[in-house]
Amino acid sequence: MQLTGFTMLALVGAGLAATPGGAAAPPAPVSSITVTPKIDSSGTSSVDVSWTGADPKADGVLVCVRRGTTTPSSPTGCESQIAVDAPRTSSGPITVYPKKTYTIAVYDYIGTTPEPTYSTPVSKVRHGTSMTLHETCANGQDPGDSCRITGVLKDVFRGTTIGHRQVELWASRNLKQSSSWSRVATDTTDSYGLAKTRITLDKSRLYQWRYAAVSKRQLTTYTAQVGIVVAS
């Protein structure tokens, strides 16, 4: 994945400046990192990683995203590697899969060719989450009919339901996945992780629960899209 203003470190000789006299001494690690989970209006989950206290001698920072809970000692073990040139202090949105737990690590680097010199990583683990969607609608829905929508929110890493969290029900403009989406309801899960709402149908649409207001250690998620057909 490549973001405007950022450089993906993947190929030998990708443009990092050479250091005369061989490999540079490793830079100091960043002081701290912040991982901000996000989900956009189309339902794509991502994280925005920011940091403080980068080594002033470093050429930039490399952000590493990896599924699981293990922090790689070097970026070679990362699934995604996004290099951010100094003095920037954030990555921008990095897409992540729902239901997966991720380790996000940040390395200061001093550029050399063919291989930069990296600091020790500073990392955080963020739990994957999941949610179900069930609808209770009669056959042959007409405009104006109501339909009950429920779902259960879970922390995949812990294997437990998530209570007392706000979730959102979104609907598409029509039954096409490529259509625009809008939020139609919100609910707070009960102590068992259950959310429920009742909607009034007007036309055929896709529906989807989304968990956007995550707690400190969790990532956003979305359900499978469920189509509800309404007679025209």
| Tens digit of each residue's pLDDT, the chain (232 residues) | 333 333 333 322 333 334 444 556 899 999 999 999 999 999 999 999 999 999 999 999 999 999 999 999 999 989 999 999 999 999 999 999 999 999 999 999 998 767 899 999 999 999 999 999 999 987 778 999 999 999 999 999 999 999 999 999 999 999 988 889 999 999 999 999 999 999 999 999 999 999 998 988 999 999 999 999 999 7
Residue 1 located in a structural domain? no
Q: Of 214, 83, 211, 80, whose CA–CA distance to 152 is shortest?
A: 211
pLDDT at 24 (0 to 100): 67
In angstroms, the Cα distances linking 7 to 49, 84, 93, 185, 192 are 15, 7, 14, 39, 44
Residues 113 and 137 in one domain: no
What values do phi and psi take at 32, rounded to 5?
A: -160, 160
Residues 13 and 117 in one domain: yes
The model's pTM is 0.84
Residue 141 located in a structural domain? yes
pLDDT at 22 (0 to 100): 55
- The domain of 30 spans 7-126
Q: Of 93, 101, 43, 24, whose CA–CA distance to 70 is shortest?
A: 101
Q: What angle (nearest 5°) sits at the alpha carbon of residue 183, between those of residues 181 and 189?
A: 130
Residues 49 and 38 in one domain: yes
Boundary (domain end) residue, out of 73, 102, 126: 126
- How far apart CA 151 and CA 94 sit, in angstroms, is 27
Cα radius of gyration (the chain):
22
Where in the chain does DSSP place strands (E)?
A: 7-8, 32-39, 45-52, 60-67, 80-85, 90-95, 102-110, 117-118, 122-126, 129-131, 134-136, 146-155, 160-161, 166-172, 181-188, 194-200, 205-211, 221-222, 226-228
pLDDT at 97 (0 to 100): 95
In angstroms, the Cα distances linking 6 to 45, 50, 88 are 20, 14, 10
pLDDT at 138 (0 to 100): 74
Give the chain's domain count.
2
Boundary (domain end) residue, out of 100, 126, 152: 126
Boundary (domain end) residue, out of 83, 103, 126: 126
Q: How many helices (H) and strands (E) would you count in the chain?
A: 0, 19
Assigned token pair, 30: 């960043």
- How far apart CA 141 and CA 150 sit, in angstroms, is 18
In angstroms, the Cα distances linking 66 to 82, 90, 115, 128, 207 are 12, 18, 20, 12, 30
